[in-house]
Amino acid sequence: MSELQPPKTPKAPKTSAPSVLFVCVHNAGRSQMAAAFLTHLAGNRIEVRSAGSAPAATVNPAVVAAMHEVGIDLAAETPKVLTAEAVRASDVVITMGCGDACPVFPGKQYLDWTLEDPAGRGVDAVRQIRDEIEERVRRLATGLGVPLDA
């Protein structure tokens, strides 16, 4: 008599939504702003992640303040460590000054956004960085064929 085999669990199909990972060193400024903008503008039409190669303890307070000015609350966000799994799970990986810390896997699209680092800067300087990130995020979503909410 043969043993009963447990039913096989089917693998979840890949969602049709593209996935984007934003990476910077501390995951406390640029990558947090980019992820927040993309989530805010595209909703669940894009899967969004952010991480840092050497995450800080908290998100930069000037970044939190600058994003609050445009109606996006980052107060509860925490920096996350960059993992190979996060890169593998993403279709597009956007680096922002993290150097060679980001693992490279075949089949992924990699973009490097040269942006000023908001670390140690006040809200006035962060506003300019924030606005540039928003413009780039809008172009990214359009390039991915994803309609924006605002």
For residue 49, the cross-strand partners are 21
Find residue 21's DSSP bridge partners. Answer: 49, 93
Q: Single out the catalytic residue among 51, 74, 98, 129.
A: 98
Catalytic residue, from 62, 96, 102, 141: name it: 102
Residue 102 falls in the annotated catalytic set: yes
How many other C-beta atoms are found inside a 10 Å radius of the C-beta of residue 88? 13
Instruction: Count CB-CB contacts under 10 A for residue 65.
Output: 15
φ, ψ of residue 68 in degrees (nearest 5): -60, -35
Residue from 21, 23, 24, 59 carrying the catalytic annotation: 24
Active site residue 24: yes
Round to whole Å and give the CA distance between 62 and 134.
16
Q: Which residues participate in catalysis according to the annotation? A: 24, 98, 102
